[in-house]
Amino acid sequence: MNTTLRRMSTVVMAMFLALMVSTTWIQFVQAESLSGDTRNTRKIYADYCNLRGPIVVGGESIVVSTPVDDVCAYRRVYGGGDPAIAELYAPVTGFYSIVNGSTGIENAENSFLSGQADSLWLDRLQNLITGEEVQGSSVELTIDPAVQRAAWDALGDRRGAVVAIEPSTGKILAMVSKPSFDPNPLSIFSSADASAAYTALLNAPVEGSPYGPLINRATRATFPPGSTFKLVTAAAALETGRYTADTEIDAPRTYQPMPSVDYHMPNFGNAACSPTDRMSLLDALRISCNTAFGKLGVDLGEDALRDQAESFGFNQRLEIPLSTAESVVQDSLPDAAILAQSAIGQRDVVATPLQVAMIAAAIANDGELMEPYLVQAVRDSDTAVIQEATPRRLKTSVSGSTAEALTQMMLAVVNDGSGTSAQIPGVQVAGKTGTAQNGQGEPTTLWFTAFAPADAPQVAVAVVLEKEGQSTDETTGGRLASPVARAVIEAVLAP
């Protein structure tokens, strides 16, 4: 009898031990993977059905959670349900979908919006004790609604992006991307309808572009920067101490970087920059002379050019908190022909509109590049501030004297150079045009970057127009992109 009891006790103990080990393994070891499993409907509904905090612009909630009688108690609503307002901010806000996941600020600030951030532990504890519903925090963006609207309207039906930055802080005042989309059809609870809406956006035809409406062109799309990159090349020259704005440099009608390679760099429209094939660095930037900057880039060398580009933020990713694509200057520029093309923002050099705006912002801020940011503050459900942005220096891009020289050169571009369409009565605008060409020499990507007022900058802006140019003087970045920048600057400076 005792032997039987001992055997039974051993079996029971083994069963209890197996149960304890299994429970511990599931609840602790596998907890994270099970929680994150896409098939875990309990976790999905817990995440998507709570009262998320609003996303706020200019004191107004542009994204809210609205009570509904459905599988969830709340549904995410964008722009008050108005597609026109929702599209204005969609590239920044992104979407939050029970079927398609999340993007933009909805994704980057999810822990605060959902109320699950570590800093909100006390709120969660109080909710647990009182049994109250978990509420997410509000996320206040740096976007100025008047500047955002001005950028949106000025861009019109064109495909492209606009970024406006406050140079002294890095605060992003506007971020527009077109074509855009309405997030509201993605936030519905019908899996079939939400999936169909997402698939339609994913497959939306955007002729001649790899970027659809779901891509934020301001941060996630890269384009050849064209002549806006000449600011980087000019900065590299000035930083050596061997050049000033008045230094005369070679500016031939065409430039052959390598005698052994049949490549001749032309100027726009095959025009001559100077009757003497020489001109000052300032004048070369003022009229955007390709051959002068191609030759200058070769004279400076690949290390100087790359190092200067990296001082402006190239070859690194940022979290603003949106994740940005990397603007790139190659690790190796193996020959003079490639180096010359890179020096004028062609070949394999690519940049986001945010990056180009950062170049202008650094020059405007006496050479100090501030870290760009989109979130001004986070407030809990009682409106108490739990996180607030603090401006931070990202890099010293150039010296103060180089920034001043570049400012004078950019003023010349707008006053009587290639960017006169950006002129604003009573305001000194410093700018640079860009017209990036394809392999057939046709301008296809148009740029303008600027800051103003030049003596006390309040805004730096970059505009890109994708696939907009033709081979005419009337379709350059100076003609088509600079008026968009002018409208944004005017909105910032409006009383």
Exposed / middle / buried, residue 39 (Cβ in 10 Å: 0-12, 13-18, 19+): exposed
Rounded Cα distance between 358 and 237, Å, is 19
The CA distance from 103 to 240, in Å, is: 43
Q: How far apart are CA 436 and CA 356, in angstroms?
A: 14
Show Cβ contacts of residue 7 under 8 Å, excluding neighbours closer than 6 positions: none
Gap between the Cα atoms of 433 and 484, Å rounded? 12
The answer to whether residue 227 is catalytic is yes
- Report the run of H or E that residue 64 belongs to, with start and end: strand 60-67
Query: In whole angstroms, how far apart are CA 88 and each of 83, 197, 415, 491, 492?
Result: 8, 18, 32, 16, 18
The structure tokens 């596998």 sit at 30
Is the separation of the CB atoms in 76 and 187 below 8 Å?
A: yes
Catalytic residue among 114, 227, 274, 381: 227
Beta bridge partners of 254: 266
The first and second tokens of residue 152, run together, are: 């949106």
Q: Which two tokens stand for residue 457?
A: 């900058």
Beta-carbon contacts of residue 329 (< 8 Å; ≥ 6 apart):
305, 306, 309, 310, 314, 315, 342, 349
SS3 36: helix
To which residue do tokens 């979130």 refer?
375
Contacts of 15 (CB under 8 A, 6+ apart): none
Sorted by sequence, the CB contacts under 8 Å of residue 433 that are 6+ apart come out as 227, 228, 288, 413, 418, 419, 447, 448, 476, 477, 478, 481, 482
312: CB partners within 8 A, 6+ apart: 232, 235, 355, 358, 359, 362, 369, 395, 397
Whole-angstrom distance, CA of residue 383 vs CA of residue 244: 53
Among the listed residues 199, 207, 198, 160, the one whose alpha carbon sits nearest the alpha carbon of residue 179: 160
The sign of the CA dihedral 42, 44, 47, 48 is negative
CA–CA separation, 249 and 413 (whole Å): 18
Instruction: Give residues with Cβ within 8 angstroms of 222, minimum separation 6.
Output: 325, 326, 327, 328, 350, 351, 352
Q: Would you mind telling me the total number of residues written for the chain in this entry?
A: 495
Q: Is the peptide bond before 321 cis (omega within 30 degrees of 0)?
A: yes
Which residues have a catalytic role annotated?
227
